Amino acid sequence: MSILINKNSKILVQGITGKEGGFHAKQMIEYGSQIVGGCTPGKGGTTVLDRPVWNTVAEGRAATGADTSIIFVPAFGAADAVLEAAHAGIKTIVCITEGVPIQDMVPVAAEVKRLGARLIGPNCPGLITPGECKLGIMPAHIFSPGPVGFVSRSGTLTYQAVDELTRNGLGQSTCVGIGGDPVIGTSFLDCVKMFLDDPATKALVLIGEIGGGQEEEAARFLEGKNIPCVAMIAGRTAPPGKRMGHAGAIVSGGVGTAQGKVDAFMKAGVPVLDTTQELVAELKKRMATAAV
């Protein structure tokens, strides 16, 4: 099994006629993802990559039964694209777009939740269930099927850690890049809960970074849970008030510090490692002890 996506996910690409949307749609199709078409206003009736294009998500969903969408729309239109997908009945929405204004995302995230849909992102690399479905921009060749659930706020650190897992024979059930913006649709805690309900996920890797309280929230939930789990926190040497990479990776007013996150994980019995090599080595030991 997996979380959020699998080989049966029917996917619409919002912005498929654009350079980025077309490029990554091709990669997803080659991986085996079930891309059933795309949506671009004014381009309905055309085709891209031998897939039909509709003017609206509602038209595409009616024609294909799509349940999933991925958004490659410029920042000024990304929030509206998310709302369009949610109102059309799409249940899993991935927004790759970076630079989406925070004030746009606050009401959108609330509306998506009200409609019972699931938003991943914005400003994220997407997610992948290895061997079944890739929904994003990640380099697919480093992923492999297996029992490790993976959640991260950092795209590049995801790739480094996943490559290390795969090289050590630890495949992944699903890997989710939740995004690094202050307002996102799916949190660490949301993903942890889904993984704990997934019988195929036997261990967890959590890659956090400074800023916000998501990691602390997930750590509190993990207290007393019987699953091998390890973590990393990026930005541990960043000075307070200095933004590091992501819009959400900023420590302000004593909230979101690296030490606070480390302390929360350690209290929950989750070790926080300094390198991906140490991370994987510790996970292997914990999985062996748990006979995973």
Domains and CATH numbers, the chain: 10-120 (3.40.50.720), 138-289 (3.40.50.261)
* 63 pLDDT above the threshold of 70: yes
Query: Which pLDDT does position 291 carry in this prediction?
Result: 81
- A 10 A CB-CB count for 193 gives 14
Give the mean pLDDT of 82-111: 97
Of 60, 8, 5, the closest CA to residue 38 belongs to: 60
Residues facing residue 230 across a β-bridge: 205
Q: Which of 71-80, 168-177, 240-249, 262-271 has the lowest mean pLDDT?
A: 240-249
DSSP 89: T
Q: How high is the pLDDT of residue 111? A: 98
Catalytic residue chosen out of the listed positions 24, 87, 141, 246: 246
Model pLDDT, residue 290: 87
Query: Does residue 76 surpass a pLDDT of 50?
Result: yes
Buried/exposed 150-183: b ≥16 CB within 10 Å, e otherwise: bbbbbbebbbbbbbbbbeeebebbbbbbbbbbbb
Tens digits of per-residue pLDDT, 122-154?
999 999 999 999 999 999 999 999 999 999 998
> What does the block give as tokens for 89?
């009945």
C-alpha to C-alpha distance for 229 and 160, rounded to whole angstroms: 18
Is residue 231 a contact partner of residue 215, using CB atoms and an 8 Å limit? yes
Q: What average pLDDT is seen over the chain?
A: 93
User: Residue 253: its pLDDT value, please?
Assistant: 47
d(CA 27, CA 284): 31
Read off the pLDDT of each residue in 76-99 and give the average, rounded to a whole number: 97
What confidence score (pLDDT) does residue 242 get? 53
pLDDT of residue 237: 52
pLDDT at position 180: 87
pLDDT bracket for residue 211 (50, 70, 90) = confident
DSSP assignment letter at 36: E
Q: Which residues pair with 13 in a beta bridge?
A: 38, 70
Triad 276, 280, 282: Cα angle to 5°:
115
Query: Considering the chain, what percentage of its residues have pLDDT values greater than 70?
Result: 92
Task: Find, among 137, 135, 141, 134, the residue nearest to 125 by Cα.
Answer: 137
Min mean pLDDT across 6-20, 233-247, 265-279 is at: 233-247
Q: According to the per-residue pLDDT averaged within each range, which of 99-108, 149-158, 231-240 is highest?
A: 99-108
Identify the pLDDT of residue 292: 75
Q: What pLDDT is attached to residue 252?
A: 47
pLDDT at residue 250 greater than cutoff 70: no
Catalytic, 87? Answer: no
Q: Which token pair is 204? A: 């967890």
* HSE-CB for 254 with a 13 A CA cutoff: 0
CA distance 196 to 190: 10
- Edge-to-edge strands of the sheet including 133-136? 133-136, 126-129, 172-177, 145-152, 203-209, 229-234
